Amino acid sequence: MTCEGPGHRLVNVLITTLDLQKEPLEFRQEIAEGAIDYAPDTRQVGVLPVTGRADLIVEHRGPQEQVEDIRLRAEYRGQFEVLCARCVEPVAVPLTGEFDLLFRPENADAEAGERAITEDETEIGYYGKSGLELEDVVREQVLLSLPGRTLCTPDCKGLCAHCGQNLNVMQCGCAGSAGLKDPRWSALQGLALKQ
């Protein structure tokens, strides 16, 4: 586990079962702006404080077989910016979330591939050989928590399909939009008809 103070960028928190065998991990991490690449239209604004705890859960699957799971519980509260689905201007989205998830080793369920996944197992994720990266989990949880479609205002006029003008800021002169109502355009259209 690496934990460094603010100012250090791109520092990832790696949770390993080896660490958890000694004791549960309590963390209070500040994820720097830009440290996580969320999605092309989503960005974190300022630091994202994430507070939580990781525990080792040992599953006894048989007399010889033990599976070491990581239970990760955390909460976060931060500011995000998402692009408006119509005019692609950034929209501020405050986000608060919490999660309680279970992660199994990558290969734990490989042979049980046919095993039906029950309802309460849908929340199960997997961790790789090196461990579980807190940032990966936070990224996924943030993306799941964001609304599917964000608009800057409910009646955002969007962009003109012809010239790309943001119609919330200014009307453009393109025919097909409000351009038809523009007298200059009516005049030009009149000319075109006469030719």
Summarize as ranges the residues that interact with Zn ion (CB under 5 A). Answer: 84, 86-87, 152, 156, 160, 162-163, 165, 172, 174
Write down the least CB distance from residue 157 to Zn ion, Å.
8
Per the CB < 8 A criterion, the answer to whether 78 and 42 are in contact is no
**Residue 152 φ then ψ, to 5°:** -65, -40
Decide whether 87 or 138 has the Cβ nearer to Zn ion: 87
Write down the least CB distance from residue 192 to Zn ion, Å.
18
User: Whole-angstrom Cα distance, residue 159 to residue 172?
Assistant: 10
Write down the least CB distance from residue 149 to Zn ion, Å.
11
Decide whether 31 or 174 has the Cβ nearer to Zn ion: 174
Decide whether 48 or 174 has the Cβ nearer to Zn ion: 174
CA distances from 146 to 1, 91, 130 (A): 28, 12, 29
B/e letters for 33-49, b = 16+ CB within 10 Å, e = fewer, are eebbebeeebbbeeebe
Write down the least CB distance from residue 41 to Zn ion, Å.
12
Cα end-to-end distance, the chain, whole Å: 76
Decide whether 29 or 165 has the Cβ nearer to Zn ion: 165
